[in-house]
A and B are shown apart, each in its own frame.
Chain A
């Protein structure tokens, strides 16, 4: 280290070193820097419009912890905006109980209205039981059901948008995974736009912060709690993508951001329609929700038959 480890702004001992522009920041100034970057991203992309009711997906894990803390700061300057936190209880034994407690502590601290929606209530059973005989598919099944749960929550709370805690690492990994799978529709699909009259826009305010910055932020704010890992977290391809991008980022700082910007550049040149629909949507023949085909993904993963409903 050639320079003393002091905050570039106030000269106190630095907690982090950031690049582009190169700077060292103490705890206080890093917190401010991270929040301001998120605020700027929200405003630049007009993620939150005047008078919006924003549903915040609050699992209680590290990303959603940062999300609710930062959005709570953001709405102090936007009193027209209302936050509603919702926790999806998938029914995963020895995992979700702890994170729900963490979520409850956070809403108590921030004063944000909070609701909990469970898979049992929406789909008739816990994830543990729904995937008991197909645990290898648990992550993808859970993803489908969680997306539907958030849509249902947005309906219940009359939300204009759904904010999730996806960070820069998640986004860069998804780009690489979509490329490796040859999944062009997922690469170009931009859910932040919503689809007027059909889908509520999904916004990702934390996509400008790396996972490391997010964990540093919640540690410095005093909200870091080591929580158990989801027992179904075995997404091999994402782990590979994480490793590859992590190594590249170490050698070539800015790689993650460049990957995400590259994707955003492509999206600007491709007309948007919800994945696979070519602009046309149907209602599911079983549950009546919107779908690009005849039967929606939820009914398919739940093996629902037409007579079930």
Chain B
């Protein structure tokens, strides 16, 4: 599973399938403050991420 964090750092590790929201919370990220893209497509955070998937986390919590 590849996870691209808001600061563009990348985590690559073997993981069991998990709901995106749970992954965010395990990383200390409030799901309400980010938008997530699974394999390049924006998805709701209750979608499941499989080990082969890529998750991009986009933070928008500043500026208007």
Contacts and interface: CB of A to CB of B under 8 A. Distances in A.
Contacts of B41: 13, 15
A63 B46 CA distance: 26
Contacts, number: 64
Nearest to B61: A242
Contact of B35 (A59, A212, A227, A247): A212
Interface of A: 1, 5, 13-17, 24, 27, 59, 61-64, 165-167, 170, 211-212, 215-216, 219-220, 227, 229-230, 233, 242, 246-247, 249-250
Interface in B2-22: 19
Contacts of A229: 62-63
A143 to B, nearest CB: 12
B47 A250 contact: no
Contacts of B19: 1
Given A1-B46, A212-B35, A233 B30 contact: no
Contact of A16 (B32, B44, B60, B61): B44
B30 A219 contact: no
A64 B47 CA distance: 30
A215 B60 contact: yes
Nearest to A164: B64
